[in-house]
Amino acid sequence: MSDEAPDPELERIVAMAVPFVRKLDRSRAGTFEVRLCSPAMRGLRTWVCGFGLVVACGGDDTSTGDDTGATTAPATGTTAPTGADTTPNDDTASAASTDSGAMTTSVDSTGPGATDTTDTGMGSDSTGAMGDCQVWEITYDLEGSVFDISDTPLMAGDQANTVTMPYDADDTVGPGTFVLRFRDVDGSPGQEAAMVSYAMSMHFLVDSGVTTVATDLEAEAGPDECGVTTGAVAGTTVTWTPSAIVGHHSMGQILCNGGLCGAAGLPNGMPVPQDETTDQPVSDFVFAPDFSSFTMAPTVITMDDQATTSWSYTGTETGRRLLDAPACLCG
C-alpha cells in the first residue's frame, strides 16, 4: 500500500499543536498522540500527560498501525457508533470516524473539558451528623477581662489580674478566647448559642511584701461542636443552661514563698501541682447588637475561708464564619 500525500491544512494544524501540547500539565492522566500521513512522520509520537487526543489519517487502510486501540471505520460517510469494538488498550475514551481524508479525534473523559464529580468530603468541619441549618461561629478575644482574688487573710493575697499585654506581668493574665456558635437567623446570629471552646493562660504573681504566690496555670474547655453549654438568645442576651463552662480543666502549679504560706493553706517553697476539672460558673453574656462583643458581670468562681475568686469577661470579635451546623444545633 502506498502512503497518501499529506494534507497541507492538517500539517499546519498539527505543527501548531505540537509545541502547545508539550507544555501541558503532566499531573493529569491521559495521552496526546500526533501522527502525520508521510513516510518520514509515520512513526512520530508525542505523548504528553493531560488529555487524550489522536490525530490520524483517513483512507482505505483502517489500521493505524499503533497501540492506541483507535480503529478508523470504512469510508462510508457515516460515524462509527459509540461502543463499537475498537479493542482499546489505553486511556482514550472513544473513536469517531468520518469520510476518507478527515481527521479522527478521541478525547479522554479525564481531560480539561471533563467535569469532576468526585466527592472530596470537604465543606464541613463537623465529624458528626449534619443538620439542616447553619450557624455563625464567632471567635472572641478576652482582652480586658478580669480575674479577681479577694477576701484573703489580711488581704495579703488580694489582687485584680487583667487580661492584657504584657501577659507576663505580675498582675496580668492571658491571652484568652471564647469560640461561640449561634443559629443563623436571616443572615444574623440569634435564637440559640453554643459555647464551643474556652481557653485562658493564667500566669501571675501576688506579692504581699513578706510572701509571694506564683500561679502558673493553663485552663481550657472543649472544643465541642455541640457546645460545652448552650443557651437561648433573647434579644442580645444569652442565658446559659447549665450556667457553667462544663468540663473546665486547669493544669499547672502554684508556688508559695514566705511566712504567710501556711495561712493560705500552701506549703512554703514547694510547688503544688494542679490538675483539676470542674464546671466553672458563668452568668449571662450580654452582646452588642451585631454580636461583635459581649460582657459578663463579675461571677464568683470559688469561695472559701482562704479567698474568693471571680471572673468578669469582656469579649471582642476577632473573626466569624457561616458553617453548616451539626444536627445537635438544629433542633
- 42 pLDDT band, cuts 50/70/90, is very low
Domain interval for residue 2: 1-114
Please compute, for residue 253, the number of CA atoms within 13 A of its CA located in the half-sphere on the CB side.
Answer: 8
Which percentage of the chain shows pLDDT scores above 90?
A: 56
- 280 pLDDT band, cuts 50/70/90, is very high
pLDDT of res. 10: 53
Q: Are residues 185 and 288 in the same domain?
A: yes
Please tell me the distance from the alpha carbon of residue 51 to that of residue 30, in angstroms, as a whole number: 5
Going by the DSSP 8-state scheme, the letter that residue 308 receives in this structure is E
Which percentage of the chain shows pLDDT scores above 70?
A: 61
CA torsion sign, 185 to 188 to 191 to 197?
Answer: positive
Give the amino acid at 5: A
Please compute, for residue 15, the number of CA atoms within 13 A of its CA located in the half-sphere on the CB side.
Answer: 7
- 73 pLDDT band, cuts 50/70/90, is very low
Asked whether the predicted pLDDT for residue 98 surpasses 80, the reply is: no
pLDDT of res. 122: 27
Asked whether the predicted pLDDT for residue 105 surpasses 60, the reply is: no
Asked whether the predicted pLDDT for residue 199 surpasses 80, the reply is: yes
| Total domains in the fold of the chain | 2
Q: Are residues 8 and 74 in the same domain?
A: yes
Asked whether the predicted pLDDT for residue 197 surpasses 90, the reply is: yes
Please tell me the distance from the alpha carbon of residue 114 to that of residue 96, in angstroms, as a whole number: 18
Torsion from C-alpha of 80, 83, 87, 88, nearest 10 degrees: 100
User: Would 201 be classed as within a structural domain?
Assistant: yes
User: Would 135 be classed as within a structural domain?
Assistant: yes
User: Would 76 be classed as within a structural domain?
Assistant: yes
Q: Are residues 139 and 110 in the same domain?
A: no
List Cβ neighbours of 189 (8 Å cut-off, separation of 6 or more): 136, 138, 182, 183, 233, 291
- 331 pLDDT band, cuts 50/70/90, is confident
Measure CA 274 to chain center: 33
Question: Can you read off the three cell numbers belonging to residue 12?
Answer: 499546519
Mean per-residue pLDDT, 66-84: 39
pLDDT of res. 16: 52
User: Would 121 be classed as within a structural domain?
Assistant: no
Asked whether the predicted pLDDT for residue 58 surpasses 50, the reply is: no
Asked whether the predicted pLDDT for residue 70 surpasses 80, the reply is: no
In this predicted model, what pLDDT tens digit does every residue of 173-193 receive, in sequence order? Answer: 999 999 999 999 999 999 999
pLDDT of res. 87: 40
Q: Are residues 205 and 95 in the same domain?
A: no
Q: Which among 114, 140, 164 is the end of a domain?
A: 114
Q: Are residues 72 and 170 in the same domain?
A: no
- Mean pLDDT lowest for which of 119-123, 201-205, 235-239? 119-123
Q: Which among 114, 146, 175 is the end of a domain?
A: 114
Prediction pTM value: 0.62
